[in-house]
Structure 1
Amino acid sequence: MAEKVYQPGEHYEYPLIIKKLLNTPLVYSPDQEIVYRDQSRYTYRDLNERIGRLASGLAEMGIGAGDTVAVFDYDSNRFLEAFFAIPMMGAVLQMVNWRLSAEQIAYTLNHAEAKLIIINSDFLPILEGLEDKLEKVRAVVVIPETGEMPETGVKFDRVYDELLATSEPGYDFPDMDENTKATTFYTTGTTGDPKGVHFTHRQLVLHTLSTAIAVGSYDTIGRCRAEDVYMPITPMFHVHAWGFPYIATMLGMKQVYPGKYEPEMLVKLVVTEKVTVSHCVPTILQMITGSPVVKQFDLSSWKVIIGGAKLSKGLAKAAMEMGITVYTGYGMSETCPIISLATPKKHMMAWEEDRLLDVVIKTGLPIPLVEFEIVDPDDRPMPHDGMSTGEVVFRAPWLTRSYFKAPDKSAELWQNGWLHSGDVGHIDAEGYLQITDRIKDVIKSGGEWVSSLDLENLMSQHEAILESAAIGVPDEKWGERPMMIVMIRPEYQGKVSADDLKAYMKAAAAEGKLPKYGVPDRYEFVDEIAKTSVGKLDKKVMRNMYH
């Protein structure tokens, strides 16, 4: 694209676009490393060249501005390259949740109008039954995970590294309107088809800048700066890996991508590459803190932001006993995602451990440029007294403006100029938000609300409990009653009964930690608790099982 000719006195209208995030690391830290498992490592100079080659290759395959390119991959340097190259061309990056059903994946590809697919060879079996159902896809690029192409029935056009090797490195990325659509992905609800959320260049740049300020500028725990070593343990298809690949790249951090999540590999990378900052769902942290092998290593430099589900006090304590610094981050697919971080304020840093734990498991303080409120059913703000409960609503410059091609759902999402979260919570006098439930998950017993998150948090502190979930089940007298679904730690198997757990919850109620009507009547022991494709508790499945 020809460079615009400027007239004397005409200023440059600086757009907030993703390509501008690459300028800083190429000046500050061009030789910093980007690592993939124990398989490859290269520098930011190499990353920049590979981004150019990927764009050139995609352009040769017919991808242009406005086209959607769908990516199926693990957390990898290839996905990082796609995070930049595709939107920098003016195309749209679709991050595909490969854990969805084949039918849902076909729906999302067709709904997003994906024209080209980049896919890790491990996921080719997903495509083998879908090719005839894909309406717009014209080409497939395969990433051989082991370096060799497996046998497949999928008709593919190019191999990823060969595409890059034969393409020009000097792609001329254009300036563009900062409101150009950059990314899209799909969020699944309890009913209906997956909903497409989408974000512009401007939204992603502002989210990157604000989150970088939030994690790096305050005198608190878990500070994250350019000297840190970043490794995601949240899928990159899940809300841009919470935006951290953009932040880490802008700051020129050393980045480590683990590929397929394997406990041994995760620990090996944390230790050998000296990883200092990650993010994950509680299930992953549970796996790490519960592993005898992991306890052999010094993890005192590791800071982990927990999101996707509530961080229980019991799990936070277990992590901190291993030297891991943990705190909560909160957001949704619709919010790009980060809305709040549960970092303690400066005056709280001297508090004793148990009191500090109560802060880091909160939903958190709004990061810069975020406003949130809790509102009653008439959208009136409620007091910030730590008790008054209502629906959580947001304003921020990076919230999705609508669901893609779903005006009816968009009308439910945005009301009176606020994005309605569907979460229930309260805000205290210090400004900390605490989510107490999803509107659809709240348990209503005898006309009183019982927080499933409070029940789960209390249960997590019982020494025998590995994981728990609280749901409401129908009750003839009270309408609904809470019940607990629990996983017992192996060493306590057969040593703890439902009566023991009920006595424990009754004792908590007697201490004022729980209303007496909130003590669950029923306790189901299970080997595994149902999870969604992104690792959240799947309470829809649980309710269907026990109703």
Structure 2
Amino acid sequence: MSDLTLQPFFWRPTALFPEKRIVSRTADGVTDYTYGAVGIRVRSLVAALQDRGFGSGDRIGTFGWNHHRHLETYFAAPLSGAQLHTINVQLGDDDIVYIVEDAADDILFVDPGEPFETIERLWDDLPVDEVIVMSESIPETNVNAVAYEDLVDEYDPVAETDLPDLEEDDPAGMCYTSGTTGRPKGVEYSHKMIYAHAMMVMTPAGLDVSERDVVMPVVPMFHVNSWEFPYAATMAGTTQVYPGPAPSAADLLALIEEESVTMTAGVPTVWIDLLEHIDEHGGDLSSLERIIVGGSAAPEEMMRRYDDEFDVTVEHAWGMTETMSIGSVSRPKARMDEWDRSRKYEKRRKQGLLSPGLEMRVVDDAGDEIDWDGESAGELLVRGPSVVTEYYNRPEANEKDFDGDWLKTGDIATVDEDGYIEIVDRAKDIIKSGGEWISSIALENALMAHDAVVEAAVIGVPHEKWQERPFACVVTAEGTETNEDELLNFLDDELDQPDWWYPDEIREVQIIPKTATGKFDKKALRNQINRNPTNE
């Protein structure tokens, strides 16, 4: 029996779908080429890596956005026997140096422009000897750098029969957690894990990725394998559209219109921005069928707008770096087809049904499993073939975050009678007031259902009597007006909770800080509020 490695993922699309297209927006312009060309270029890159002595035991770092060259490294690195390590281009300097040193990267593939300037600035503090600039040329620099296209052109492709023998337990990928509560932690993926997860993502019970789709992954390729789209979509022979560096709402809309994109994926803030852009400038989403959202809960009002105005289904997914991203997807079961729209939305706004191959437990503080009644809450634990069982080089975190082969996700969840998971909050974000729990996510989603509110983030602030109280920050749409009393009354209508549930203050702000992966940065928000505790 053959091992479960990435070699079949590489062979299938290049052999069976050589004519299918990959469209890529880069700093050099738009590249439009085929899987057949990808196969040749990947094998040339393998030859270049081998000539530099890279193979088993080595780690290939990448520092770039979503484009075709990055996709090629997704295959060339593991097919050479090395391990691909994707690094978040939006991290601060200290975290970048820490991650590259901790991972002991041997070489870096870096995007031109700001990513290269960052590496150039940090060069003396990094352990690597060479940088491959993912471009047609390199800027004048003191860094030991080579242009990606020169490298690919220089080497003849390795014959497929001459690719290194791989084993399914060999390291193939690596990603670091966001580090919102401490130093980022390294998470390693084997060939078998990527194989299992990509196959799950392709299935109808996963994200249902088909050869007939045109997929545009907006979730960054430096973040958890871009939710597995580069591997799953490639394996399926799907037409792929990559939006390139820091795409704006206008960039995304243009690609959807020009390439007839059918499926896309990213954090909710991306799709809120796209709606705002269409409201102001217009746009055609007639080709688009589905938007996959994750990272944080999508406001139901946003989901309804896409549904009502554009016939686009927004599907919730849940996952973590430690689960290789997708761990659940929410869509109604077949027997719910006859339900009315409101009942279906009760399911769709949740994080959904656990992905095939995974197991879960939801436990209270005593370690006992909660009832599946949609109300009892506890910490979500998961395990399965795509879930890691330890962190790289972090024994103290391993002891805290794992229970045998069970991952303690840190997510507080309920499970309803139909098995649908709803993430109530992160354990670190849930607000504990007077011995009761208040869900920051529920408050945020309710606030964002108000017509004037574009974004909302809720945190717990210290309180002398009640331990913590909820504090909300909102960004309002241009040209709209609202006030704290109106929003509090709106919350009461939306949630129908006791008075102590609602924020003591709702502050209008220009910007809510976000993490490098597009989530609300509540750690930074708490620091801001602590520096400016009054609404002066």
Letter in 2 for 1:208: A
Verify the 8 A CA contact 1:289 1:295 in the aligned structure 2.
no
1:262 aligns with 2:248: yes
Is the CA contact 2:202–2:208 (under 8 Å) kept in the aligned structure 1?
no
**Partner secondary structure for residue 231 of structure 2:** helix
Deviating more after overlay: 250-259 vs 309-318: 309-318
Relative to structure 1, the CA distance from residue 243 to residue 294 in structure 2 (aligned partners, 3 Å threshold; closer, same or farther) is farther
Give unmatched runs, 5+ long, in structure 1: 1-12, 217-221
Q: Give the whole-Å Cα distance in 1 for the aligned partners of 2:90 and 2:283.
A: 32
Rounded Cα–Cα distance in structure 2 between residues aligned with 1:338 and 1:388: 24
Question: How far is 1:293 from its partner?
Answer: 5.2
Aligned to 2:198: 208
Q: Which amino acid aligns with 1:272?
A: E
Instruction: Tell me which residue corresponds to 1:241.
Output: 226
2:509 is aligned with 1:526: yes
Contact 1:475–1:481 (CA<8 Å) still a contact in 2? Answer: yes
Aligned match of 2:304: 317
Q: Which residue of 1 aligns with 2:125?
A: 133
Instruction: Give the Cα separation in 1 of the matches to 2:417 and 2:106.
Output: 50
Partner of 1:462: 450
SS at match of 1:430: coil
Equivalent in 39, 56, 63 of residue 65 of structure 1: 56
Aligned ranges 1:224-303 → 2 under 5 Å: 224-260=209-245, 261-291=247-277, 292=279, 295-299=282-286, 301-303=288-290
Aligned counterparts of 2:485 and 2:519: Cα–Cα separation in 1:
28
Counterpart residue type for residue 369 of structure 2: P
Shift of 1:155: 2.7
CA distance in structure 2 between the aligned counterparts of 1:118 and 1:337, rounded to whole angstroms: 23
Cα distance in 2, alignment partners of residues 240 and 52 from structure 1: 21
Q: CA deviation at 1:223?
A: 4.7
SS in 2 for 1:230: strand
Partner of 2:139: 150
* Contact kept? 2:203, 2:209, Cα under 8 Å: no
Mapped contact 2:137–2:147 kept (Cα < 8 A): no
Provide the rounded CA distance (Å) in 2 between the counterparts of 1:478 and 1:472.
11
Structure 2 residue corresponding to 1:116, chosen from 107, 110, 113:
107
Q: Which residue is 2:40 aligned to?
A: 49
Unaligned runs of 5+ in 2: 531-536
TM-score, L = length of structure 1: 0.92
> 2-side partners of 1:153 and 1:504: how far apart?
58
Partner amino acid for 2:515? T
Query: How far is 1:26 from its partner?
Result: 3.1
C-alpha separation between the residues in 1 aligned to 2:281 and 2:133? Answer: 34
* Separation of aligned partners in 1, 2:226 and 2:298: 18
Whether 1:442 aligns to 2:430 is yes
Measure, in 1, the Cα distance between the counterparts of 2:340 and 2:368. 37
1:344-371 deviation line (CA, Å, top 9, x unaligned): 1112233333332222220110111011
Q: How many residues are treated as equivalent by the alignment?
A: 521
Secondary structure of the structure 2 residue equivalent to 1:39: strand
CA distance in 2, matches of 1:443, 1:319: 31
Secondary structure of the equivalent of 1:544? Answer: helix
Residues 288 and 294 of structure 1 are in contact (CA less than 8 Å); yes or no, is this contact kept in structure 2? no
Q: By how many angstroms is 1:323 displaced?
A: 2.4
Determine the structure 1 residue equivalent to 2:168. Answer: 178
Structure 1 residue 391: Cα displacement? 0.3
Shift of the alpha carbon at 1:149?
3.0
Change (3 A) 1:377 1:417: farther
Matched residue type, 1:273:
E
String of CA shifts for 1:76-126, please: whole Å, max 9, x gaps. Answer: 111111111101111010101010011111111111111111111111110
Residue 476 (structure 1) shift: 2.0
Is the Cα–Cα contact under 8 Å of residues 455 and 474 in structure 2 kept in the other structure? Answer: yes
- Assess, with a 3 A threshold, how the Cα gap between structure 1 residues 294 and 249 changes in structure 2: closer, same or farther: farther
**Cα distance, 1:65 vs. partner?**
1.2
CA distance in 1, matches of 2:455, 2:319: 22
Cα offset, 1:300, TM superposition: 5.3
Within the candidate set 161, 164, 167, 2:155 is matched to 167
Q: Please report how far the alpha carbon of residue 72 of structure 1 lies from its aligned counterpart in structure 2 after TM superposition.
A: 1.3
User: In the alignment, which residue of structure 1 is the partner of 2:344?
Assistant: 356
Report the equivalent of 1:305.
292
User: How far 1:140 moved relative to its partner?
Assistant: 1.4
Q: State whether structure 2 residue 94 is matched by structure 1 residue 103.
A: yes
Cα deviation for residue 174 of structure 1 reads: 2.3
Alpha-carbon distance, 1:148 to partner: 4.3
Shift of residue 224 of structure 1? 3.5
Q: CA deviation at 1:294?
A: 6.0
Q: Identity across aligned pairs (percent)? A: 35
Q: Are the aligned partners of 1:330 and 1:340 in contact in 2 as well (CA < 8 Å)?
A: yes
CA contact (8 A) 1:124 1:152 kept: no
Tell me if the contact between 1:214 and 1:368 (Cα under 8 Å) persists in the aligned partners. Answer: no
Give the letter for the 1:289 counterpart: L
Distance in 2 separating the partners of 1:515 and 1:455: 13
Instruction: Measure, in 2, the Cα distance between the counterparts of 1:99 and 1:168.
Output: 34
Q: CA separation in 2, counterparts of 1:295 and 1:127?
A: 39
What's the offset of the Cα at 1:322?
Answer: 2.6
Which residue, 68, 83, 90 being the options, matches 1:77?
A: 68
Map 1:470-489; keep pairs closer than 5 Å.
470-489=458-477
Residue 40 and residue 90 in structure 1: after superposition, are their counterparts in 2 closer, same or farther (change >3 A)?
A: same
Query: Which residue does 1:538 correspond to in 2?
Result: 521
Deviation at 1:295, TM superposition (A): 3.5
